[in-house]
Amino acid sequence: MLQLILGGARSGKSRLAEKLASDSGLAVTYIATSQPQDGEMNERVAHHRARRPAEWALIEEPLELARVLRETARADRCLLVDCLTLWLTNLLMLDDVERLTREREALLDCLAELPGEIVFVSNETGMGVVPLGELTRRYVDEAGWLHQALAERCQRVVLTVAGLPLTLKGTAL
């Protein structure tokens, strides 16, 4: 089962994804896409790390998400990917402008063949004003297109607001 959990910053999306992974009854592998570089981001990572059960495996992969999913997905495993918008940011910041397209297509192409359960977490960024700056607008556009393509492929899509899940697609929580 593929699930996409969307929400704004501090909306409860990661906590919900962690609960879904725990409730799956499967061994859990947490795939972290962040690249902490400052004190505040390091604090966020530490907060997430402290919440996770010690028995969960951890893979840190900022760029090659499709490769890691293909190598790690198993029928008896739940993969929790947190977070797609950080992954997208990592790719947007590279000098190789084609890398984002290749990695995005590789991700979308591999989803149908992956066994087990996969829970994706991502920030819903397109609910406000059109941002200033070309890179920021591209980020919001790319995130929106990625979310649409993933939502089409996922069996469940949930929007989390104020810690409350609203099921957009699939069985309600």
Confidence category of residue 55, pLDDT binned at 50, 70, 90: very high
Dump pLDDT digits (tens) for 17-29.
999 999 999 999 9
Q: How does strand 156-161 pair with strand 164-169?
A: antiparallel
Confidence category of residue 38, pLDDT binned at 50, 70, 90: low
How confident is the model at residue 127, as a pLDDT?
83
Asked whether 28 and 77 are in contact (CB, 8 A), the reply is: yes
How confident is the model at residue 164, as a pLDDT?
97
Six-digit token string for 150: 């993933």
Mean pLDDT of the chain, nearest integer: 93
How confident is the model at residue 129, as a pLDDT?
77
- What stretch of H or E contains 19? helix 13-23
pTM of this structure = 0.93
Confidence category of residue 45, pLDDT binned at 50, 70, 90: low
- Measured CA to CA, the distance from residue 35 to residue 82 in angstroms comes to 12
Task: Please check the confidence at residue 60 and state whether its pLDDT lies above 80.
Answer: yes
Task: Please check the confidence at residue 128 and state whether its pLDDT lies above 90.
Answer: no
**Is residue 48 among the annotated active site residues?**
yes
Six-digit token string for 48: 């997430």
How confident is the model at residue 130, as a pLDDT?
77
Eight-state DSSP code of residue 162 = T
The highest-confidence range among 16-20, 43-47, 96-100, by mean pLDDT, is 16-20
Three-class secondary structure of residue 100 per DSSP: helix
Mean pLDDT for the stretch of residues 117-123: 98
**Identified catalytic residue from 19, 44, 48, 77:** 48
How confident is the model at residue 153, as a pLDDT?
98
Task: Please check the confidence at residue 41 and state whether its pLDDT lies above 70.
Answer: no
**CA torsion through residues 69, 71, 72, 76, sign:** positive
